[in-house]
Structure 1
Amino acid sequence: MSACSSSSCRHATGITCVCRCGGGHHGAKARIAWAAALAADRPTPHQLADAARARAAQDWALRNIRRQEATLPASRTRPRRADATWFFETARTVDIVSRLVAVRSEREQLDWMADQVDRACTTVLTTGSDRHLRLADHFWCDVLAALAHTLTEIVDAVDQLPAEVAELTVRSVATMTWEQVRDSRNVSFGNAPVVRERSRTFHRTTRLERDTATDLTEEVLRQTTEALAMVLLQAAIEGVHVTFDDLVVKLRVLALLFCPDPYSHAAVWNHCAVPLINAAVVGQVRARLDRLLPLFRTPWP
């Protein structure tokens, strides 16, 4: 996958981000723009180019996922790296883009939510130096996955929203979300699920340890997480941009769009990818995945 640059990262789709945007511009906006272009009745020249890029990316992803399905040994119990690369690429570029083409309101809501991530990222970057590499290391998808997981736990516990969330207060839900983010980053090394501890060669410290080794302290991370969570929750409570009925689904979809590499991110895999597969939001690509799909329906241990 290609790396993005500061001039084009809002429309980048690769899994690697080397510019100074901190990952807040990266990945999600491009596919949302692709969906808008594919849905346009009277596309602009720019949208015609976006639509062509989208169709080429979809065709490429489908060819590769079919190849992975055909070459997967029947005895395989965990996905190979290429299996995961092309499964999540088809999920994002085919399944999610197609879903957003069909539902304009969801496309516009996700676009607004992605803009909130962008604003939060800009705030962090303008208040400290050398933070962009740490933010780009799965921080935004960590926050989105954590908020989705927190709301799911609340729903399971009280089965009444938004009234019960109002009782908890937006701030307390945001605090619970930060606790989920902190716990996720405190146990995540950035390795794939198939990598055993004794085999780690790249990351021997957790993401949280690497965060705090820079000036990206736990306090900064907490404030950023809570501020972003509160913006998204308040909009849902007011019914302005998104409602509670589908907020969790949209958070999961957006986390999957933002995540640089779900294969090495347990929180996104478990709290976003698995539920989306089970809800038939992703995994419904135009190719039979009888062997591959069960490997991604299983939570990451």
Structure 2
Amino acid sequence: MARDPSPVSRQEARDRSDSDWAKTQTPRGQREPSKPRQAAATDSATVDLIDWLSENPSTIEHIQEVGDLLTGSVISELDKRFGGGRPRETRRILTNHFWCDLLVALAEGIEEFSKAMDRIPEYVTAAIIKSRNDERRSPLLEALVALAVQTAWGPIKSMVHATGVEEVQRTCRILAVLICPAPENHTAVQNGALLPLAKEGMLETSRERLEQVFPAEWVRRLRGDLGGA
């Protein structure tokens, strides 16, 4: 959609997102926002990111490169080591927010250890395992996580040297949002991808919607980053 020179499909996606948001109700009192309202808010943010990508084709190429890496050599290595006779089952398990966890952890690790890159794979592996524990997702073998991280890290490290830290972080964060099955249910994506991206690739409308459905701490951090109250 971001590659399409015509804005029609993107506008249709925005219209659907706006319609979904309009159908939801503002929560009363101390009630939490409904799941449909949360989903509509993150959909609005996703449409903004796709619009932003349509004007930044170089980032689209980088996203394609990282996506091909994950679906190519990383999956291939995991199939060989852990697929056994049922590689599809292993792949199915990984669709439960593993890939978006991996991308967010890579973006954070690159920032944390930009001057000590050899430490990044260990950091990313630990971050993924912690995220899954914190969000009570199905546990994964540490060896599987470590293999995925190590296989992905070599090419991504080369990309860091070629394009810079910020561009690779942006690439990983946007791809994490785009592939996440439900960003509204994934705290790591909310904090590690949507929060930093809200500063550069989202319209005010989407930021306001996210503020209405995400925790107060997320809102405080966003406003602090934007220099607001």
Normalized against structure 2, the TM-score is what?
0.80
CA distance in 2, matches of 1:121, 1:292: 33
Structure 1 residues 298, 233: CA separation in 2 closer, same or farther (over 3 Å shift)? farther
Unaligned runs of 5+ in 1: 1-33, 40-50, 155-160, 190-205, 212-216
Q: Deviations over 1:106-144 (max 9, x none)?
A: 111112121112111243235412202211111100101
Normalized against structure 1, the TM-score is what?
0.63
| Contact 1:177–1:229, Cα closer than 8 Å, also in 2 | no
- How many residue pairs were aligned? 212
What RMSD in Å do the two structures reach over aligned CA positions? Answer: 2.5
Instruction: Identify which of 246, 259, 283 aligns with 2:180.
Output: 259
% identical equivalent positions = 21
Q: Which residue of 1 aligns with 2:225?
A: none
How much does 1:77 deviate?
Answer: 6.8
Unaligned runs of 5+ in 2: 219-229
Q: Which residue of 1 aligns with 2:20?
A: 64
Q: Which amino acid aligns with 2:67?
A: A
1:37 aligns with 2:37: no
Q: Which amino acid aligns with 1:250?
A: T
Q: Which amino acid aligns with 1:276?
A: L
1:236 aligns with 2:153: no
Q: Which amino acid aligns with 1:270?
A: N
CA distance in 2, matches of 1:121, 1:295: 34
How much does 1:224 deviate?
Answer: 0.9
How much does 1:219 deviate?
Answer: 0.8
CA distance in 2, matches of 1:97, 1:141: 17
How much does 1:244 deviate?
Answer: 1.2
Q: Which residue of 2 aligns with 1:207?
A: 138
Structure 1 residues 121, 290: CA separation in 2 closer, same or farther (over 3 Å shift)? same
Q: Which residue of 2 aligns with 1:186?
A: 133
CA distance in 1, matches of 2:13, 2:194: 21
Higher normalized helix content (fraction of residues): 2
| Contact 2:53–2:59, Cα closer than 8 Å, also in 1 | yes
1:106 aligns with 2:30: no
Structure 1 residues 38, 72: CA separation in 2 closer, same or farther (over 3 Å shift)? farther
Instruction: Identify which of 78, 86, 100 aligns with 2:40.
Output: 86
Structure 1 residues 147, 289: CA separation in 2 closer, same or farther (over 3 Å shift)? closer
How much does 1:218 deviate?
Answer: 2.0
